[in-house]
Amino acid sequence: MTERLYLSDSYLTRFHARVVRTLQFKGHLAVVLNQSAFYPEGGGQPGDRGTLGTVPVLDTQERDGEVLHLVDAPTWTADQVEGAVDWPRRFDHIQQHHGQHLLSAAFQRIHGAATVSFHLGEKTCTIDLDCSIDKLSAAALRAAESAANESVWQNHPVIARDFKGEERARLTLRKEPVKGDRVILVEGVDASPCGGTHPRMTGEVGCIAVIRAQRWGSGAARVEFVCGNRVVRALGQATEAIAQTAEALRAAPAEIAEAAVRLAAESRAQRKAVEALEAKLTAQKAEQLIAAHPAGAIAETVDGGMQAAKLLAAALVARGRIALIASPDGERVHLCFARPAGAGVPMDAVLKSVLPLLGGRGGGSAEIAQGSGNAARLTEALSAAMKQVDGN
């Protein structure tokens, strides 16, 4: 068993220890010490990084009560070592983890939404709530965020220690303990079993910002958030993104929402105009093809991909003609075979009969079928399709 120094002091970053043994773990050499300030991954919090002597610690894991320090070294010979925890990363995790406790307590208190899991990511954090997303409106999210930040700014003392017996019985725990007697207690705010690293005062979390919520699983919701210095970074990134967007829209930062709405409306109007023009040109193309081919099916190639092939096929079908339309796209080709409703050769059968020539795939119904394949034998494929259609 490794003595875990971080449990009594989350701020301890340097310590001396005796090497107990080494082993291979997940493709790395792992060093086991008699005591360690490194936090091993668990409870949604990643393992610490740092150094043992001059050797980098890439990750910290737990197995059978031992803390495994995964090091960037092929072998190990030292019997004694000085460990150093990466403090900026540790403090970031302290901010995120304790911020999660305060935010989870706020969701529980205000919305009756219990936290069922937590993940501390590289950029953002998430909690999964036993709560329908329908109950988490923007106002509901802001209410929980505001309550959590009040707990931060009131700068409550954070008690992190074992609670047993009657003392433990007097606590109203937010969740049931998984193992051990350690509880993170903020008087009047939250009491939760936890073996992670936490600050001495809630004010060290700095602030908490809820980013968004989304549906997660059946009847649950996932809330994404950041705490402390990550909020500062996120604000800086958002400010830069807003400035770039404002410049692109030729609008003041405060006016980008209005400018974006206006641009979207203009884009929709332009798209409708383009679609109307495409329909007009397609109709003209169909009339020209019918004039050139007074009888029988019409086979034609067009530019523009499957959408263009479908438009021309629909225009020809609307004028009572069978359409075998192809649209080459580099080495590939898109096919749309269609005919008027009623009796006639099934288009899906015609398509499937020529697809082997193209090494392609597709399907559809008796009236319209679509597919794609290699364009090398397109002429042969269209000729084969024409023979089937005109032969019936």
In tens, the pLDDT along 236-279 reads: 999 999 999 888 888 898 888 898 899 889 899 998 998 888 88
258 in a structural domain: no
List Cα–Cα distances, 338 to 161, 320, 365, in angstroms.
Answer: 74, 11, 9
**Rounded (5°) CA angle 115-121-126:** 25
Which of 85, 110, 137 finishes a domain?
A: 85
- Residue 327 and residue 218 in one domain: no
- Residue 315 and residue 356 in one domain: yes
- In this structure, are residues 71 and 3 in contact, taking their beta carbons and an 8 Å threshold? no
Residues 6+ apart with CB under 8 A from 35: 2, 3, 4, 5, 15, 17
Task: For residue 309, give its domain range.
Answer: 281-390
Single pTM value for the model: 0.74
Which of 85, 100, 122 finishes a domain?
A: 85
**Both tokens of residue 312?**
């021309």
pLDDT, residue 392, reads 52
pLDDT, residue 279, reads 86
Closest residue by Cα to residue 21 from 36, 12, 4, 34: 34
What order of strands is seen across the sheet that includes strand 332-338? 298-301, 323-329, 332-338, 368-374, 361-364
- Residue 155 and residue 133 in one domain: yes
184 in a structural domain: yes
260 in a structural domain: no
CATH code of the domain in which 22 resides: 2.40.30.130
pLDDT, residue 98, reads 97
DSSP state of 382: H
- Residue 19 and residue 71 in one domain: yes
Phi and psi at 205, nearest 5°, equal -65, -25
74-104 burial, b if ≥16 CB within 10 A, otherwise e? eebeeeebebbbbeeebbbbbbbbbbbbbbb
52 in a structural domain: yes
- In this structure, are residues 48 and 67 in contact, taking their beta carbons and an 8 Å threshold? no
- Residue 110 and residue 148 in one domain: yes
Per-block mean pLDDT, blocks of 10 residues, the chain (392 long)? 94 97 94 97 94 97 95 94 97 97 97 95 96 95 97 97 90 85 94 95 97 92 97 93 89 88 90 89 90 89 91 92 91 93 90 92 93 91 88 60
CATH code of the domain in which 116 resides: 3.30.980.10
Q: Is 270 left (phi over 0), alpha (psi -120 to 50) or beta?
A: alpha
Which of 85, 102, 124 finishes a domain?
A: 85
